[in-house]
Chains A and B, each alone.
Chain A
Amino acid sequence: MRVITSDVLIIGAGLAGERTAIACAKEGLDTMILSLVPSRRSHSSAAQGGMQASLGNSVMGKGDNPTVHWLDTVKGSDWGCDQEVARIFADNAPIAMREMAHFGVPWNRVKGGKQQVFIKGKKATIEEDHATEGLITARAFGGTAKWRTCYTADGTGHTVLYTMDNMVLQLGIPVHDRMEALRLIHHDSRCIGAVVRSLRDGELRAYIAKATVIATGGYGRIYGESTNAVINEGSGSWLALQTGIVPLGNMEAVQVHPTGIVPTDILVTEGCRGDGGLLLDVDEYRFMPDYEPEKMELASRDVVSRRMKEHILKGKGVQSDYGEHLWLDLRHLGERHLTTKLREVYDICMYFIGVNPITELVPVRPTQHYSMGGIRVNKDGQAYNLKGLFALGEAACWDMHGFNRLGGNSLAETVVAGMIVGKQVAKYSKKAELNIEVTLAEETAHIERQKIDKLVNGTGKENVYQLRDEIGRLLTKYVHIFRTGEGLQTATAELKKIVARTGDVKVRTSAPGMNPELSIALRIEGMAKQAYVIAKGALDRTESRGAHFREDYPARNDANWLNRTLVRWPVAAEEPQFEYEPVGLLDLPPGDRGYGGGQMIAMEISIADYNRKVDSEQSVKGRLEPSEPTGAKLPKEAWRAELEGKE
């Protein structure tokens, strides 16, 4: 078996992985990136809308600062996030944006003078200050107090990823594409790399490094119906779950985006609504102001999706061959806007559903979109329980998103986390020594080899595609916008059976090389187990918070559930183990989000008492000691000045 060594092994060539690689390579470390697909095809390139950073250059962003951004993020998370991490993020986002500008992203810039825009659905004129002309501009996004989302038309992810990849080229960081990490090589306490299968020729290799970083993106495709790329099948979070010791956090927190187009489930960006797009029902009536008089179409995603579903359930949906949907109205934005700033959206509508958004309404419905959950890490990005393993980006639960991520916060997260975590990875690898434990690598590879052998030559009879479809159906039906105890019960029972059946899969062809059926068959166990964990976590969490909405427990329960779900699946165990830890230090006390309605059950203990428990309880759950003490980056009550200043 080929063994390839480096100082740092990064699994995933999306924005998160590449930014980390750059941080490490700049420190002179020998860095290596793996990816399922050529780096520029990673899903980060599909992000359209933009990245949040409180630069406050546009008049509509005047008075913005990291504290306001932080407030929006914490509220958006429904208090489920780690407030310190959110703070680290909000403080660094403007730097990240400027750095990306320095690297070469062609951000749209402020143009001085009067501009025609849409605010809350009405035409308005704003006057940009000539003094800020040429600085990075921003657009409106859901759940934000200011216009804060920096963008390049509607190809933000694309330009940022291309720019990042250019840096990777410049630094000469090798990217081995069409490589799939199948299993981490580790002992009980330390991770030393991964066993990897080449998707070109099926070869198994060992990549051994001082530090291993998982930046593999989300797991949305487990849902089947999803806006995610087809490669987002949770193979990264599975790497962690598979170890039996590294926990995943908040897996049940799955975001549903309001505007996936019908029927292909392709996303049209939140930027559509940010720029003035409206949601209409079967009577072409604009219903959002009735539900959310303050934020209207621009409430946070969980809220808008829920309201849309609510409205459909009232019988106001539009019937179609593909089920009920609503309309997104972009017609009033005009041809120029749609063919420049929203050009991808225009293309998608035209090509995929034959709808011309300049003259026609776009059929949309809420669709699975983002995974708030993922590999649980401390604020340095270090995975729980396993030294030398880091995770970041959508694959991780660094936890600045809690139970609902704001639009534009995740692209920004990938880059900011890349900077922050990258530094820690570099620091770690500089100190660590390289353990080339070939026997361990061989043993690990052997497990995979046996698995492959069983899939190809075994006596199983399950069809992998069928299992995949069943998993998707169950999750979409029962673990979506509205969840009930009963439904989740059914889902967990069914998924349990499917988990068992994954051991019985047989692939129909033994062709060497890429063998697509074998590739997915190798992933199916991970998909089934993660689906089970998602459903079980949702079943156990008897409250509603952010994207997790239980019809039978509609209140947000801060008394019992102001915590984070952690789940481990011990090796060879039948059942996963669920645990809960405090979300992190509370600075902004739990309160009303200002949109979404809903009841709340107040905390019983004081905030001070809650905060006292955080450190100890988290370390019991396996959190490794971060480089700085908990709370070091969280200025106390900085928000007060902001909120009071307003009044």
Chain B
Amino acid sequence: MTSLDTELYPGAKSRHGKTSEAYRIARKAIRDEWISGLTGAILAAFIWFHLLFESSILFGRTVYDKLALLLEHPLPIAHFTLIVISIVFFVHFIWASRKIPGKLQERKRMLELGVSLKKANKRWKQDPKSDIRLRKHFETSLWIWQVRTGMIVLAAGAFHLILIAWNIFTDMGIVGQKPGISAEIAIARVESGLWLLYAILMLAVVIHMAIGVYRLLVKWLADTWFVRKYARVLFYFLLWFFIIVGTATTIGLAGPWEGVLS
């Protein structure tokens, strides 16, 4: 005679070993989590190097070209990377977006809560005497921004990838004599008006990456010495460091700052 409503968790009690449905579901869940996390991590690491390499334009075209050449000759590192990263990019998109609420209604609810929490935070005054401080909260809104920036990265990044692929697989790259990537072409592209797209892509990808890394660290390492506090410091560092580097690079590629550091 139970009055309790346990239908909240139908079939929750099936635990029947390795051949069972429950086991299969559990395997899938952890696999999915690892796929989205690991691809995110790979993309993040790639972006760090990518943005740093791009920033070599600040040292002038020669440096940039040398680097570019190194990535294409003698080994076709760039070609290889492009293929791998494209796949990772796509896989990450598919797997990571499984957590994005599908229904508009749901998204709205989430948004409301994020806004409400954030508002509360601003209005929440604290007794200065108290050393139990209510920590400032904004990670819920960060997640929403991660979804938004992810969408931008999906569109702009895919375009960029196609562009670059065309670039290094055509006569300018593997077929031709010159390296696919060169300062000249890059600058030409960027100057021609694509700078706006790149600026947006850069901002979106940096924000997305910084939040992603922060969350990844908190999710997996919060109980080690690398606690949330440090992850947060790293978040701010990654965010601002790459925004500065990226902006400088964009301006460099667009002309004005090219070679300022050389």
- Residues of chain A having any CB pair with chain B under 8 Å: 4, 6, 30, 32, 172, 174, 176, 347, 350-351, 354, 356
Contacts and interface: CB of A to CB of B under 8 A. Distances in A.
Contact of A347 (B1, B3, B129, B132): B132
B130 A172 contact: no
Nearest to B4: A174
A176 B132 contact: no
A4 B129 CA distance: 54
A174 B1 contact: yes
Interface string B102-135: 0000000000000000000000000101111000
Contact of B1 (A6, A350, A351, A354): A6
Contacts of A176: 3
B2 interface: yes
A174 B130 contact: no
Contact of A174 (B2, B127, B132): B2
16 contacts: A4-B1, A6-B1, A30-B1, A32-B1, A172-B2, A174-B1, A174-B3, A174-B4, A176-B3, A347-B132, A350-B130, A350-B132, A354-B127, A354-B129, A354-B130, A356-B131
Contacts of A30: 1
B162 to A, nearest CB: 57
A108 B132 CA distance: 25
A30 B1 CA distance: 9
Contacts of B4: 174
Contacts of A356: 129, 131
A234 B1 CA distance: 29
Interface string B1-20: 11110000000000000000
A24 to B, nearest CB: 15
Given A174-B2, A356-B131, 8 more contacts: A4-B1, A174-B3, A174-B4, A176-B3, A350-B131, A351-B132, A354-B129, A354-B130
A174 B5 CA distance: 12
Counting from the closest, the 4 A-B pairs by CB-CB distance are A174-B2, A350-B132, A354-B129, A354-B127
Contacts of A174: 1-4
A6 B1 CA distance: 9
Contacts, number: 20
A347 B129 CA distance: 13
Nearest to A173: B2
Contacts of A4: 1
Interface of B: 1-4, 127, 129-132
A6 B2 CA distance: 12
Contacts of A32: 1
Contacts of A350: 130-132
B209 to A, nearest CB: 37
Nearest to A355: B129
Contacts of B129: 354, 356
Contacts of B2: 172, 174
A347 B131 CA distance: 10
Nearest to B130: A350
A203 to B, nearest CB: 12
Nearest to B129: A354
A350 B133 CA distance: 11
A346 B3 CA distance: 39
A6 B3 CA distance: 14
Contacts of A172: 2
A4 B1 CA distance: 9
Nearest to A177: B3
Contacts of B127: 354
A354 B131 CA distance: 10
B124 to A, nearest CB: 14
A176 B4 CA distance: 9
A406 to B, nearest CB: 33
A121 to B, nearest CB: 26
Nearest to B132: A350
Nearest to A4: B1
A187 to B, nearest CB: 26
B125 to A, nearest CB: 13
A6 B4 CA distance: 17
B248 to A, nearest CB: 46
B182 to A, nearest CB: 61
A354 B127 CA distance: 8
A351 B127 CA distance: 10
A351 B130 CA distance: 8
A210 to B, nearest CB: 15
Contacts of B3: 174, 176
A356 B133 CA distance: 13
A351 B131 CA distance: 10
A354 B3 CA distance: 43
A65 to B, nearest CB: 42
Nearest to B131: A356
A4 B3 CA distance: 11
A350 B130 CA distance: 7
A32 B2 CA distance: 9
Nearest to A5: B1
A176 B1 CA distance: 11
A357 to B, nearest CB: 11
A343 to B, nearest CB: 11
Nearest to A174: B2
A614 B194 CA distance: 101
A172 B129 CA distance: 47
Contacts of B130: 350, 354
A351 B129 CA distance: 11
A5 B50 CA distance: 72
Nearest to A176: B3
A172 B2 CA distance: 8
Contacts of A6: 1
A535 to B, nearest CB: 41
Nearest to A351: B132
Contacts of A354: 127, 129-130
A16 to B, nearest CB: 22
Nearest to A347: B132
